[in-house]
Structure 1
Amino acid sequence: MFYWIMKYLIAGPLLRVLFRPRVIGESNIPRTGPVIVASNHLSFIDSVILPLNMRRRIYFLAASNYFSGRSPGAWVLKRFLLATGMIPLDRSGGKASEASLRAGLAVLQKGNVLGIYPEGSRSPDGRMHRGRTGIARMVLESGAVVVPVAMSETDRVMPVGGKGIRFLSVGLTFGEPLNFDSYRLGEADHETLRVITDQIMEAIRALSGQEYVDAYSSSRKAAREE
């Protein structure tokens, strides 16, 4: 109930006025059945703009650090994210990451829409980085189709590491659904997972026009901080 009230009565109308979204291809999202919406990731605000411009409800795997703050403001953010369908994603590996994967699969097994940023974290430099293969595992285990999405200008609205928000027009382009059923017949080895992931990333890159970097965004961020 909170999700729909925010979308249609409070946040949705306000943010459409402030950010004047230019939406192309939203009809490419199947109206029923499990769907993975795979997007590039330029800004924290991507997870706000994207749901407001889709007819179907979308659940997101969001980095667990968004839920871990101890301040009053962090507590409010955590409650808001949970109420709007955000699922904490633990990227530390091992059992924690496996639990996050299972949470995402549970969304798809109910025939819902799951939003994933295959890069794993926001781009530190506006370029597209190598995708992580967790999305391919979900594709093979759920049978969901993948709809690639390109966000644009959100990094200017709320830059990574910046302060404040600028009210600029943003863009969303939804590509045609990708079906990977043919891969489900074989073994889900690392090579297969990488091939599927790279195909998804190329579809997103073709929509966004971003320069591609064959390195994980988290690695690029660590190198910049050294």
Structure 2
Amino acid sequence: MGTLSLEKIDHLLWLGRYVERSYTTLRFITVTYDKAIDSTDGNWKGQLEELGFASETENVLEFFRDCLFNEANLCSLAHSMGAAYDNAVMLRDVLGTESLSYVQMATDAIKAAESSESPLLDLQLVQDNIMAFKGCIDDYVADDASRNIIKCGMSVERIDLYARLSYRLDCLKQETHRLASRIDRTGAPYDKQAFKDLIDIVFAPSFPESATYETLGKLLSVVARIFP
């Protein structure tokens, strides 16, 4: 575990998770919004249920603004990016000014988008700044364990979201490979049996072609156990 405290490991892990949650949630919401604008059958709400969004409104714009900008909504983009920033601030000494600044700029871009007449342009800046942060940590996070904990957090969150949304399931083998290449380089405690169970599910011959809701539910349970 080196010089990293359990508290710092937790902040690093959740920084990675919240950054990835923000990125994937934003991509999924914007794609779903485009479908909702073109849809006439009223099924656009159901596509976001697995992310935890629920609302009585039938107004498409009002619903999606809540998904994006309502910080009180724990599933929203604004909440996730705000949580990422809170963790990043606690890691200023590990991340460096350059890496932290991209998290700040992504957070600021969400606030700008909320009041913008062209919110999609500002939301694109959110994605761009998150991608810049992901690249920046390779150059500016000197500690190998810290860098790998952040990336493990990203991988765990991506696996969780893809399973939750039944989205890009064909990418889970590659993401599990990434996690396997990093997890033992973190020095952080993790549940080895849970990780083995993840590998068994994802690399089963029938996955993802024959994956059922039961399979994906088991996968979510396993992922939740990897980091205690």
Above 0.5 in TM-score? no
Kindly name which structure, 1 or 2, has the bigger radius of gyration based on alpha carbons. 2
- Greater fraction of residues in strand: 1
- Greater fraction of residues in helix: 2
Please give the TM-score of this superposition, normalised by the length of structure 2.
0.31
Please give the TM-score of this superposition, normalised by the length of structure 1.
0.31
